[in-house]
Structure formats: structure tokens, C-alpha cells
């Protein structure tokens, strides 16, 4: 099984632990991930000011992906959402496609429908399946508890994602966590948005949004908060100290990526899943998996 | 009090003509969007239903110049619960696009085009990044800013300047 890996802006620079663990897990599950040197930003950051240009940028990536005949997977939920939405719009609207292709022509590119775009976790769920993942688990993460954070664009809008998991009652990440033998924690603020989308416009607001979840999990006491998006990571890991200061809370919520948990359970070493690169250290895990 | 003389009856059509904007005409003001909005939970002055009402009334300048329209986190929660398929996240994107054309985009939004035209990503990839990647056995990544500069109509020199801004 093969797929194109779309890294986007943040993952290949700031979240090497996520990228490394995703690549290793894919390899262990028999998924061959291919890179395209031309891939860059998906266009999402331009959407709020110029959605026409954002669509052309997304179409550029889709045009580059099309020739391979492979499905595309993204580690960032915003990339997955943006590219899936662009594919949906362009495949269904001929006029729009013609307009976009006019702007791609000078780059020697043309968009054609047919690239299947998914978040990496959804790809694992649908193409590999939980049963095959469970069969690869050699070291159960028993005794650990992880709080899944679904974020937004992994699930929504369901018109685009096709409702593979219920946005109002999501289960998919919990089922990955349970596949590792760990406990998936259900908690009140589970569906909350991280606030990353408004960090540039209003830091206090973004902090209040992320702080709500961090405060709940800090009080609850979990092994770690488990993420699948580098934007959410900016808020929950990168900004955690600043948020604690703003809200006058001593926050100590360890943060991991779900792919790191899968890797550890499948027998990969902490270094192979980049566990030392986590900044909000999952101390219990590090102690248990001392290499 | 709102005087109808200060309203622009064409504004709602202007919004509806933008990609994603058409749904605004279906709003029957139930406020499911406002109830479900995680931003509204922290900022009561941010009220999706109110933004829709003001737009339908034609309060063009008031809506486009409002700093509140930039507080949407684009989480799509409102879109999921709307019984009328207004698709408020997309409607607000349409409104923000019009606001940007009118010169109201916040400074953080303005820097983005320059960064993309310079690096093809929001974050630069230097030799330092690729050395770190190589140490972990990860393949090198490349910058393809020129493609982005061409799409955005930004000259490479201006892209550098945008980065400094």
C-alpha cells in the first residue's frame, strides 16, 4: 500500500517527533509513504483574506499529486481539510476548475479530479484497520491513560469528511488509543477547539480556549494529551507555559502524538518515535520506556 | 438604533456572490451557531447570529471594519449544527475576504502572503532544519517559494520585504 505524504508548513520544521513516528508506524504497517519535493503550504493560511488564491495553491498540490495515481495523506488537520475541500470543489465545478487551471498554466500544471485526500489517521483507520494495528501490538501500554484531542478539521465539515466519525460524538482516536492497550480518557472539554486559528488575531482569546482543556486535564491527571495536528500542538504544547501564566494556573499536562503511542505499542523505541523531542514531557512514558 | 438610511441593501448580495457566501440568505435566526460557538463561550460580544443579522440588514461598513469577524477559529461547529445549511464558517470567510479587499485585514494576515512567496511555507527551511532532519533520518525538504510568488503575483524581492514586515 502506498500514499503521498503531504507535510505542510509546521510539521517538517517544528514537529519532527510527529513526522518521524508517523513514518515509522506507516513502515511497520506496510504503508509506503512517498515524498514530493514540490509540496509546500496547502493554502489554508491565505483563506481568510483571499480564498481564490488559497484554492489555486491547494490545486497546485493536487495537480502535482495527480500524476502519481496515489492517495494523499496529511499529518496536519488543516492541510487535510483544505486539500480535501479543494478537491471536492474543483471536481464538482467545471467553471471554477477552468479558472483555477488558467492560473496554474504558467507553472506548467493542470488540475484534474481524482486525488483521494485524507488525514493520515483516517487513512490508517480505513486502509489498514484497527484489527491489523492490534495484531502488530507487541508491548501493551497498560496502566497509561491518554486524553484524545480530535481538533476540528479532522472531522469537520462533515459535508467534506463524509462523516467517517461523528463530529458530535467522535470515537476514532479513542479506538487507536485503546488498540495500544492504554485507557482512552473521556472528558468534558474533549470536543473543544484549540484556539490556534485565532492566535494571530487575539492571543488572550486563543489562550482562554486552549486553557479550558489544559486546566481540565491538569486537574484530572492523565499520562498525556494525545494530538494529531501540529496547529493544536502549537497551543497545547508550545503555548502551555504562557497560557498557565496568563490564567494563573500551574499547568503540567504532558503532550504526545497518537502516532507515538502506536509506535511504542508496536515495539518501536522511544527514539524511533521521537519521544525525547516532546517539550511537554510525558514523564511516565519516558520512565517506563527508558532505553 | 439602526437607521435604514445608513444601510446598504446590496451588501447581502455582495456576500452571497462570494464563494461560500450564498448560504446567508437561508438564515432564520435560530442562534444554534451562537450557542455552539466555542469563541462565543469566551467572548460574548462575538455572536455569529448578530454578524449574520447585521449583514442581512446591510450594515456594510460596520461588519467589514469590525475586529470581531477575525475572531472565528474556523472550527466548523456552527456549520455542523445549522438547520438551514447557512454554513456560517464559509459565510464569514466570504465576509473576511471582502473586508481584506476593503483594507481591514489584521497585520498578522497581511504577512502570510509574503512568507509564502518567500519560502513556499509559513516557516523557512534552512540548512539548519535539514541537518536536524538528517540526524533523525528524515529526508531533506525544499523551498519552492517561486511557485507561490507567481500565483500570488508577488515579485521575489517584494517577497523578501514581506518577510521583514
CATH label of the domain that carries residue B9: 1.10.1060.10
Which candidate from B71, B72, B139 shows the least CB-CB separation from A35? B139
Looking at beta carbons, which residues of chain B come within 8 Å of A19? Answer: 138
> The CATH number of the domain where A192 resides is what?
3.40.50.11810
How many folded domains does chain B comprise? 2
Question: In terms of domains, do A73 and A142 share one?
Answer: no
Looking at B81, B101, B121, the residue that finishes a domain is: B101
Q: What percent of chain A clears pLDDT 90, i.e. is strictly above it?
A: 99
Q: What is the pLDDT averaged over residues A249-277?
A: 97
User: How confident is the model at residue B158, as a pLDDT?
Assistant: 64
Q: Is position A149 within any domain?
A: yes
Q: Which domain holds residue A73?
A: 2-120
Q: Is position A130 within any domain?
A: no
**Interchain contact, B80 vs A156, CB within 8 Å:** yes
Q: Which domain holds residue B38?
A: 4-101
Question: In terms of domains, do A146 and A266 share one?
Answer: yes
Q: Is B129 on the interface with A (CB under 8 A)?
A: yes
Question: In terms of domains, do A197 and A264 share one?
Answer: yes
Q: What is the pLDDT of residues A214-223, one digit of tens each?
A: 999 999 999 9
Question: In terms of domains, do A269 and A152 share one?
Answer: yes
Cell matching residue A118: 485524507
**Interchain contact, A197 vs B74, CB within 8 Å:** yes
Residue A90: band (very low, low, confident or very high) from pLDDT cuts 50, 70, 90: very high
How many folded domains does chain A comprise? 2
Residue tagged 488558467 (cell numbers): A102
Question: In terms of domains, do A149 and A279 share one?
Answer: yes
What is the rounded distance in angstroms from the CA atom of residue A31 to the CA atom of residue A23? 9
Give me the DSSP letters along A32-46.
EEE--TT----SGGG
Q: Is position A127 within any domain?
A: no
Q: What is the pLDDT averaged over residues A139-163?
A: 96
Question: In terms of domains, do A280 and A156 share one?
Answer: yes
Looking at A120, A153, A174, the residue that finishes a domain is: A120
Question: In terms of domains, do A148 and A269 share one?
Answer: yes
Q: What is the pLDDT of residues A190-205, one digit of tens each?
A: 999 999 999 999 999 9
Q: Which stretch of DSSP H or E encloses residue A255?
A: strand A255-257
Looking at B68, B84, B101, the residue that finishes a domain is: B101
Residue A163: band (very low, low, confident or very high) from pLDDT cuts 50, 70, 90: confident
**Interchain contact, A205 vs B38, CB within 8 Å:** no
Question: In terms of domains, do A230 and A113 share one?
Answer: no
**Interchain contact, A9 vs B129, CB within 8 Å:** no
Q: What is the mean pLDDT of chain A?
A: 97
Find residue A4's DSSP bridge partners.
A34, A72
Question: In terms of domains, do A143 and A268 share one?
Answer: yes
Q: What is the pLDDT averaged over residues B47-68?
A: 97
Is B92's pLDDT higher than 50? yes
User: How confident is the model at residue A291, as a pLDDT?
Assistant: 60
> The CATH number of the domain where A26 resides is what?
1.20.1050.140
Amino acid at each position: 500500500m502506498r500514499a503521498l505524504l503531504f507535510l505542510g508548513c509546521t510539521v517538517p520544521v517544528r514537529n519532527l517527533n510527529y513526522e518521524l513516528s508517523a513514518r515509522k508506524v506507516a513502515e511497520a504497517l506496510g504503508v509506503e509513504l512517498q515524498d514530493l519535493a514540490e509540496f509546500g503550504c496547502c493554502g489554508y493560511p491565505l483563506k481568510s483574506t483571499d480564498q481564490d488564491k488559497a484554492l489555486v495553491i491547494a490545486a497546485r498540490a493536487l495537480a502535482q499529486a495527480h500524476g502519481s495515481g496515489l492517495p494523499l495523506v496529511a499529518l496536519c488537520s488543516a492541510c487535510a481539510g483544505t486539500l480535501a475541500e479543494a478537491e471536492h470543489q474543483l471536481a464538482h465545478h467545471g467553471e471554477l476548475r477552468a479558472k483555477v487551471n488558467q492560473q496554474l498554466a504558467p507553472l506548467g500544471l493542470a488540475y484534474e479530479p481524482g486525488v483521494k485526500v485524507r488525514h493520515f489517521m483516517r487513512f490508517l483507520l480505513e486502509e489498514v484497520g484497527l484489527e491489523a494495528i492490534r495484531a502488530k501490538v507487541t508491548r501493551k501500554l497498560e496502566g497509561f491513560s491518554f486524553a484524545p484531542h480530535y481538533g476540528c478539521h479532522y472531522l469537520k465539515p462533515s459535508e467534506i469528511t463524509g462523516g467517517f466519525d461523528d463530529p458530535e460524538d467522535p470515537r476514532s482516536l479513542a479506538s487507536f488509543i485503546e488498540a495500544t492497550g492504554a485507557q482512552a480518557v473521556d472528558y468534558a472539554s474533549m470536543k473543544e477547539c484549540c484556539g490556534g486559528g485565532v492566535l494571530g488575531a487575539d492571543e488572550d482569546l486563543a489562550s482562554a480556549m486552549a486553557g479550558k482543556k489544559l486546566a481540565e486535564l491538569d486537574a484530572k491527571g492523565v499520562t498525556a494529551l494525545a494530538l494529531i495536528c501540529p496547529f493544536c500542538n502549537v497551543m497545547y504544547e508550545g503555548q502551555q507555559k504562557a497560557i498557565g501564566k496568563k490564567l494563573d494556573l500551574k499547568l503540567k499536562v504532558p503532550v504526545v502524538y497518537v502516532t507515538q503511542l502506536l509506535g511504542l505499542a508496536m515495539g518501536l523505541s522511544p527514539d524511533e518515535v521521537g519521544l525525547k523531542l516532546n517539550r511537554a514531557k510525558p514523564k511516565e512514558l519516558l520512565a517506563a520506556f527508558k532505553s | 438604533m439602526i437607521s435604514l438610511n445608513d444601510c446598504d441593501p446590496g451588501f447581502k448580495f455582495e456576500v452571497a456572490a462570494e464563494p461560500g457566501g450564498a448560504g446567508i440568505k437561508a438564515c432564520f435566526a435560530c442562534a444554534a451557531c451562537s450557542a455552539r460557538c466555542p469563541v462565543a463561550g469566551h467572548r460574548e460580544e462575538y455572536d455569529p447570529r448578530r454578524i449574520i443579522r447585521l449583514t442581512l440588514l446591510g450594515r456594510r461598513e460596520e461588519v467589514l471594519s469590525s475586529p470581531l469577524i477575525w475572531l472565528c477559529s474556523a472550527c466548523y461547529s456552527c456549520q455542523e449544527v445549522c438547520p438551514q445549511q447557512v454554513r456560517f464558517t464559509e459565510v464569514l470567510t466570504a465576509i473576511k475576504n471582502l473586508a481584506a479587499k476593503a483594507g481591514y485585514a489584521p497585520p498578522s494576515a497581511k504577512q502570510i502572503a509574503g512568507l509564502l512567496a518567500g519560502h513556499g511555507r509559513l516557516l523557512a527551511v534552512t540548512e539548519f532544519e535539514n541537518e536536524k532532519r538528517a540526524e533523525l533520518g528524515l529526508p531533506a525538504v525544499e523551498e519552492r517559494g517561486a511557485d507561490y510568488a507567481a500565483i500570488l503575483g508577488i515579485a521575489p524581492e517584494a517577497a523578501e520585504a514581506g518577510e521583514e514586515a
